Amino acid sequence: MSNLAEGGRIELNDRFGLTEYRVLDGSLNELSRGLGRVELDVDAGLYQIDLRAGGETAQQIVSVKPGEVYVLDEGLQIAAAAPVFGTETSREAHHYPILEASENLARAGGFDAGLVISLRNLPERSTVSAESQLHRLGLFRAADMDPVTNLEPGAWTVLDEDLALWAQGLDPGPYVLRTTRIPSKARMAAGIEEEVFDQAVWLADGWQTLIFLPNHRNGPKTDLASVQMGRVGEGWSTGMDGERVQLAVEQAYAGLRSGDYAMSDHAMSLLLDREDRNAMFSILAAHQLFLQPQPNLDLIHDIVAYLDNIAPGHPDASGIRARLETRAWRVGGSVDAPVGAVDWPPTLDVGYTAAIDVDSAVPGFVSPGSLAARVATHRDDRGIWTSWQPLDDPMVEERLTRRARPSKRETAGKLPLGLDYGTVEQATVVSSDVATRQVADYLSQLGEVYDPESVTEDPDIDTLISQVSRGAKLPTSIVRDSLDRLSSGDL
Determine the pLDDT at residue 319.
95
CA distances to 1, 26, 384 from 264, rounded to whole Å, are: 32, 26, 21
pLDDT band, very low/low/confident/very high, at 151 (cuts 50, 70, 90): confident
Nearest Cα neighbor of 287 from 203, 225, 348 is 348
Determine the pLDDT at residue 1.
44
Determine the pLDDT at residue 239.
57
Residue environment code for 114-124, b if the CB has 16+ CB neighbours within 10 A, otherwise e:
bbbbbbbbbee
pLDDT band, very low/low/confident/very high, at 407 (cuts 50, 70, 90): very low
Q: Which residue has the higher pLDDT, 151 or 274?
A: 151
Q: Is the pLDDT of residue 363 over 70?
A: yes
**Residue 203, strand partner residues:** 173
Residue 69's H or E segment, with its range, is: strand 69-72
By the 8 A CB rule, do 141 and 201 touch? no
CATH classification code of 7-72: 2.60.40.10
Q: Is the pLDDT of residue 344 over 90?
A: yes
pLDDT band, very low/low/confident/very high, at 339 (cuts 50, 70, 90): low
| Mean pLDDT (whole number) for 217-242 | 84
Residue 284's H or E segment, with its range, is: helix 279-289
Q: Is the pLDDT of residue 168 over 90?
A: yes
| Mean pLDDT (whole number) for 412-419 | 61
Q: Is the pLDDT of residue 331 over 80?
A: no
Distance CA 415, CA 447 (A): 5
Q: What is the DSSP string of 119-184?
A: EEPPTTS-SS-SGGGGGGEEEEETTTTEE-TT-SGGGSEEEETTEEEEEEEE-SEEEEEEEEEPPP
The topology (CATH level 3) of 77-237 is Immunoglobulin-like (2.60.40)
| Mean pLDDT (whole number) for 219-239 | 87
pLDDT band, very low/low/confident/very high, at 266 (cuts 50, 70, 90): confident
Q: Is the pLDDT of residue 402 over 50?
A: no
Q: Which residue has the higher pLDDT, 331 or 172?
A: 172
| Mean pLDDT (whole number) for 121-131 | 80
Q: Is the pLDDT of residue 452 over 60?
A: no
Distance CA 379, CA 314 (A): 21
Distance CA 278, CA 271 (A): 8
Express each pLDDT in 48-91 by its tens digit.
Answer: 999 987 767 889 999 999 989 999 988 888 888 888 888 888 88
pLDDT band, very low/low/confident/very high, at 396 (cuts 50, 70, 90): low
Distance CA 342, CA 355 (A): 8
Domains 7-72 and 77-237 share a fold: yes
Q: What is the CA radius of gyration of the chain?
A: 26
Q: Is the pLDDT of residue 451 over 60?
A: no
Express each pLDDT in 169-203 by its tens digit.
Answer: 999 999 999 999 887 776 676 667 788 899 999 99
By the 8 A CB rule, do 18 and 12 touch? no
Q: What is the DSSP string of 210-255?
A: EEEEE--TTS--GGG-EEEEEETTT-S--GGGHHHHHHHHHHHHHH
Q: Is the pLDDT of residue 399 over 70?
A: no
Distance CA 265, CA 272 (A): 10
What are the domain boundaries of the chain?
7-72, 77-237, 402-488
Determine the pLDDT at residue 411.
43
Distance CA 259, CA 381 (A): 14
Length in residues, the chain = 491
By the 8 A CB rule, do 19 and 36 touch? yes
SS3 state at 350: helix
Nearest Cα neighbor of 405 from 431, 447, 444 is 444
Instruction: Say what the pTM is.
Output: 0.85
Q: What is the DSSP string of 405-467?
A: ---SSSS----GGG--HHHHHHHHHH-S-HHHHHHHHHHHHHHHH--GGGSSSPPPHHHHHHH
Determine the pLDDT at residue 410.
42
Distance CA 10, CA 37 (A): 10
Distance CA 297, CA 310 (A): 20
Instruction: Report the mean per-residue pLDDT for the chain.
Output: 84
Q: Is the pLDDT of residue 226 over 60?
A: yes
| Mean pLDDT (whole number) for 3-21 | 80
| Mean pLDDT (whole number) for 440-458 | 63
| Mean pLDDT (whole number) for 372-378 | 93
Express each pLDDT in 240-249 by its tens digit.
Answer: 577 788 888 9
Q: Which residue has the higher pLDDT, 327 or 409?
A: 327
The percent of residues in the chain predicted with pLDDT above 90, rounded, is: 44
